[in-house]
């Protein structure tokens, strides 16, 4: 009767998905033995290696972010999807998904009141026996005799280890401490925790289900390794014994690195890597199943060197082995290694499964290598996996991220079954490609097909509206959210997207209303509004909001700090940037590499090159962004040789440059006149297997050739490149035609520009300027009239200068500043001195044509950059040796450039002017751009 009641209780707990610990504790010894774990079934009857496994419980959860059928931490998705939305069985976890075992247990259920001891309240004799207490241990802590070694296998098997990996997360931390202490005590030679005792602990079901964390792994390396060598091989660990003399001072000094240990515990508190260390201590070899689990565990902890070492030592591998390592590399940011493994696997006579394909399609999307993706796609078609939903979604995602939107549409149409993720992938692809109109059309089409949008869908569509500046469509979606009862205020991503929409459409009041309606504001909503005010030029409001964020005790994360640094960098607010730098040093998130990169970028954009160099050299760790930021800074300052030196040093440090790094290097060569070097780096880019030149790289080469006067070669490059020319690349060539006075080619290029984009006022300004410089005033007037008839106006020029921590803005012809009269007097006095000493003459050709000469001179005197310089001279004296920094949103005009050059000759001031293209440093009558910008 009692047995029947226990069986009924056990079944009910299993049915409601309870944690195993809830029914194992208590009457443990009287419970029937549970059925064998799926790992054990697979081990007993392995599938043929050449066929894709049919049992989902044997597959690693390695699906990419478009995977809608696999769960677990390695099931990377575009957006959060609830368990109910998955609709299919979770993929094999192999230790990957600790919370989704076959019983479907609920992580939130606490263990029952029964302890790990029996219900009598006495310690379970199964755990603490006289045999355990009398285990033969030598005084040095070494287990004696082969009998003990053989006994170990009776208590602890590889299958038990593998099963343990799927255990409960909740009690794992506690058990890790217990087992960690036992391992340490065992090494020190205490008699109680002998090998048999440790084996019993691991064999005891409530404890082996909740095994170990990274803490014990560190202890294992510390105690059984060569004292800190992270490169120690598995074989060396296996041979290690505890007979070495224990150096208390040395070990204590390593153990007391509290900061490192604390970080490791937090980062990997529920990880299972220490199963490996415990297995080594118990003297076990590793079979295929356990090795696969170890690869997965080390990958989750980011220890890819050790994961690769386990993989390399395997005498037998299956598709799970290869896929687990591929996914590990992908999750740890090494997509190239993922693809390399895929092609190596082709020589192993193993067939990829659906998760292998989806992982590698994601890698292709990250690396933007559509050519490789197409090759993998071809093999996927041959093996019959193309129409599987998870694979099909990943193919659509890959083409979208690579800019092949037409191929993505074709693949989408091929899918026999489509789900919400399929639609979301297409929406994201169109938005990423800058085709917001089509993204909105696909959104309506999705609704017509009966798909219910989720949070990711709505944020993507709102992003498309904000990029298009379509406040009407965005407001309609906002209304749809309200009427449908969607909790906008409770969804941080949607609230942030709404704020961003209203900000980018110039409706700060609407953005503020959305922000005020959010009940629990997080850093996303705060950041969106702060950046919105900053981008609209309301710096005081942005800084005040940031102070409110600090006062509200919200954790200022690395994203917020980086964003604020970006604001100060864009507006060249040196003092505020320095204050934010000081604040970042005091908070934990300030040590993030992204924050360090943004600080270096801020100093570079403020013209403080020396400070940026110092911080870059002091960075404890650098990534590809760090190097790219510094290379870009050198290029903007016209120090091309330093930029290419840093690029070469980066490669010698085994940091692979990406497309942005190549672009920064080519731009630096262009601004410094390093034509030969630029051509060499472009050829290197074209030969690169992983990074291919984009339209921006070709535009940089057109600029490089154009500056060198090789206009025909530049035009041929545009016409023969494998990409469709855009407006930007033709604008680059037109600028070169103006500089070199090639009116004939300029006319042809101008016609191409108006054909591509006849609504861009910049195109009309550039075309009219080339006619004006050639003296073709009739054509000049015609182009101006065309722009006027269409109601097109170019962006107003604006310059600003920071004086005594206050930023002063000026527009062309501005007379609103309280010191404007004094500014004009100072500028006139400077002109008088320059005429007397240097024969300075105004460049009236840069003035409007239909006014008299005197008016032309007056119009040139009120250019925004001159007004900013005049104010700075009013506050500092004319002969004071200092640096004046002025910043402009557009390209500096020729007259202002000549004016500042002459001015730097007669006053002891260094002028640093940052325009839309680069930095100009004026000193002693010379400019760092060498008069070509």
Say what the pLDDT of residue 878 is. Answer: 64
Say what the pLDDT of residue 35 is. Answer: 40
Say what the pLDDT of residue 413 is. Answer: 92
Tokens of 317: 């591998």
Count of Cβ atoms closer than 10 Å to residue 358 Cβ: 34
Cα 599 to its chain centre, rounded Å, is 17
Rounded Cα–Cα distance for residues 788 and 717 (Å):
33
Listed residue (257, 280, 269) closest to 195, CA to CA? 280
pLDDT above 80 (res 396): yes
Domain 694-794 has CATH 1.25.40.10: yes
Instruction: Classify 72 as helix, strand or coil.
Output: coil
Say what the pLDDT of residue 689 is. Answer: 82
With cut-offs at 50, 70 and 90, classify the pLDDT of residue 772. Answer: confident
Cα distances (angstroms) measured from residue 186 to each of 180, 400, 488, 833, 854: 10, 55, 56, 87, 95
Tokens of 203: 């064999």
pLDDT above 70 (res 9): no
Tokens of 906: 């007669």
What ranges in 370-404 are assigned the alpha helix state H? 370-383, 389-401
Say what the pLDDT of residue 731 is. Answer: 94
Q: Which residue has the higher pLDDT, 339 or 493?
A: 339
Rounded Cα–Cα distance for residues 188 and 222 (Å):
13
pLDDT above 90 (res 715): yes
Contact 84, 59 (CB under 8 A): no
Tokens of 883: 């640096």
Q: What are the start and end residues of each CATH 1.25.40.10 domain in the chain?
A: 694-794
Cα distances (angstroms) measured from residue 92 to each of 292, 357, 922: 11, 16, 65
Rounded Cα–Cα distance for residues 868 and 807 (Å):
10
Say what the pLDDT of residue 193 is. Answer: 42
pLDDT tens for 156-183 read 444 444 444 444 343 454 555 555 555 5
With cut-offs at 50, 70 and 90, classify the pLDDT of residue 555. Answer: low
Q: Which residue has the higher pLDDT, 528 or 256?
A: 528
pLDDT above 80 (res 462): yes
Contact 521, 489 (CB under 8 A): no
Listed residue (753, 716, 747) closest to 732, CA to CA? 753
Rounded Cα–Cα distance for residues 189 and 374 (Å):
59
Q: What is the mean pLDDT of residues 226-248?
A: 38
Q: Which residue has the higher pLDDT, 613 or 538?
A: 613
With cut-offs at 50, 70 and 90, classify the pLDDT of residue 49. Answer: very low
The whole model's pTM is what?
0.66
Radius of gyration of the chain (CA): 34
Count of Cβ atoms closer than 10 Å to residue 524 Cβ: 21
With cut-offs at 50, 70 and 90, classify the pLDDT of residue 842. Answer: low
Q: Using CB atoms within 10 Å of the CB of residue 230, give its burial: 0 to 12 exposed, 13 to 18 middle, 19+ buried.
A: exposed
Say what the pLDDT of residue 468 is. Answer: 83
């Amino acid at each position: 009767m009692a047995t029947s009641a226990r069986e009924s209780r056990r079944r009910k707990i299993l049915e409601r998905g309870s944690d195993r610990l809830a029914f194992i504790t208590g009457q443990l010894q009287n419970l029937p033995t549970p059925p064998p774990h799926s790992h054990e079934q697979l081990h007993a009857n392995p599938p043929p290696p050449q066929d894709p496994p049919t049992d989902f419980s044997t597959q690693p959860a390695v699906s990419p972010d478009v995977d809608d059928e696999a769960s677990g931490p390695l099931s990377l998705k575009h957006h959060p999807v609830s368990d109910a939305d998955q609709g299919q069985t979770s993929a094999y976890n192999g230790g990957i998904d600790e919370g989704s075992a076959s019983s479907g247990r609920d992580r939130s259920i606490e263990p029952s009141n029964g302890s790990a001891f029996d219900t009598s309240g006495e310690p379970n004799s199964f755990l603490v026996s006289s045999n355990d207490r009398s285990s033969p241990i030598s005084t040095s802590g070494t287990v004696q005799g082969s009998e003990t070694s053989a006994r170990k296998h009776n208590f602890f098997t590889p299958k038990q280890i593998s099963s343990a990996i799927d255990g409960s997360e909740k009690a794992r931390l506690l058990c890790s401490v217990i087992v960690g202490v036992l391992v340490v005590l065992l090494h020190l030679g205490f008699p109680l925790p002998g090998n048999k005792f440790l084996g019993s602990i691991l064999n005891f079901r409530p404890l082996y289900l909740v095994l170990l964390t990274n803490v014990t792994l560190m202890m294992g390396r510390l105690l059984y390794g060569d004292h800190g060598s992270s490169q120690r091989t598995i074989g060396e660990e296996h041979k290690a014994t505890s007979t070495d003399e224990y150096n208390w001072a040395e070990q204590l000094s390593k153990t007391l690195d509290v900061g490192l240990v604390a970080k490791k515990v937090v980062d990997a508190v529920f990880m299972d890597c220490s199963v490996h260390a415990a297995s080594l201590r118990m003297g076990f070899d590793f079979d295929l199943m356990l090795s696969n689990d170890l690869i997965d565990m080390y990958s989750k902890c980011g220890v890819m060197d050790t994961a690769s070492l386990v993989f390399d030592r395997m005498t037998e591998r299956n598709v799970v082995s290869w896929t687990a390592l591929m996914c590990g590399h992908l999750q740890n940011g090494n997509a190239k290694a993922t693809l390399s493994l895929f092609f190596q696997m082709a020589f192993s006579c193993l067939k990829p499964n659906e998760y292998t394909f989806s992982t590698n399609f994601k890698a292709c999307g990250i690396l933007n290598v559509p050519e490789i993706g197409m090759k993998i796609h071809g093999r996927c078609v041959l093996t019959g996996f193309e129409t599987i939903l998870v694979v099909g979604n990943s193919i659509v995602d890959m083409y979208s991220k690579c800019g092949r939107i037409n191929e993505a549409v074709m693949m989408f149409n091929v899918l026999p079954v489509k789900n919400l993720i399929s639609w979301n992938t297409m929406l994201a692809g169109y938005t990423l490609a800058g085709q917001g109109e089509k993204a909105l059309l696909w959104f309506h089409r999705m609704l017509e097909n009966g798909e219910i949008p989720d949070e990711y869908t709505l944020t993507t569509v709102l992003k498309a509206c904000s990029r298009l500046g379509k406040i009407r469509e965005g407001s309609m979606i906002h209304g749809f959210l309200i009427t449908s009862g969607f909790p906008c205020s409770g969804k941080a991503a949607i609230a942030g997207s709404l704020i961003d929409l209203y900000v980018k459409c110039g409706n700060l009041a609407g953005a503020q209303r959305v922000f005020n309606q959010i009940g629990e504001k997080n850093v996303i909503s705060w950041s969106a509004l702060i950046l919105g005010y900053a981008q609209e030029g309301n710096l005081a409001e942005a800084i005040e909001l940031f102070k409110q964020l600090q006062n509200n005790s919200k954790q200022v994360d690395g994203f917020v700090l980086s964003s604020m640094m970006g604001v100060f960098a864009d507006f060249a607010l040196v003092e505020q940037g320095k204050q934010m730098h000081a604040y970042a040093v005091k908070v934990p998130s300030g040590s993030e590499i992204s924050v360090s990169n943004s600080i270096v970028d801020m100093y570079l954009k403020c013209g403080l090159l020396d400070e940026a160099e110092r911080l870059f050299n002091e960075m404890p760790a650098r990534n590809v962004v760090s190097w790219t930021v510094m290379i870009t800074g050198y290029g903007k300052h016209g120090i091309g040789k330093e930029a290419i030196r840093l690029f070469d040093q980066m490669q010698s440090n085994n940091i692979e440059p990406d497309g942005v790094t190549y672009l920064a290097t080519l731009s630096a060569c262009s601004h410094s006149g390093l034509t030969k070097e630029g051509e060499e780096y472009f050829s290197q880019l074209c030969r690169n297997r992983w990074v291919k030149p984009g339209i921006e790289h070709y535009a940089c080469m057109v600029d490089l050739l154009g500056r060198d006067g090789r206009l025909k070669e530049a035009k041929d490059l545009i016409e023969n490149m494998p990409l469709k020319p855009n407006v930007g690349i033709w604008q680059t060539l037109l600028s070169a035609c103006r500089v070199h006075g090639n009116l004939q080619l300029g006319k042809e290029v101008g016609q191409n520009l108006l054909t591509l984009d006849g609504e861009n006022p910049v195109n009309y300004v550039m075309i009219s300027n080339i006619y004006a410089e050639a003296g073709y005033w009739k054509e000049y007037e015609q182009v101006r009239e065309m722009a006027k008839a269409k109601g097109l106006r170019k962006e107003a020029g604006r310059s600003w200068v920071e004086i005594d921590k206050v930023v002063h803005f000026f527009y062309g012809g501005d007379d609103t500043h309280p010191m404007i009269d004094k500014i004009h007097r100072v500028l006139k006095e400077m002109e008088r001195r320059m005429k007397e000493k240097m024969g300075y003459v105004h460049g009236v050709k840069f003035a409007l044509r239909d006014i008299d000469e005197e008016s032309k001179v007056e119009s040139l005197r009120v250019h925004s950059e001159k007004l900013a310089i005049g104010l700075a001279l009013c506050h500092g004296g004319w002969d004071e040796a200092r640096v004046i920094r002025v910043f402009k949103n557009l390209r500096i005009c020729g007259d202002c450039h000549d004016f500042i050059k002459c001015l730097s000759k007669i006053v002891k001031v260094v002028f640093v002017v940052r325009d839309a293209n680069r930095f100009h440093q004026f000193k002693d009558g010379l400019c760092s751009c060498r008069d070509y910008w």
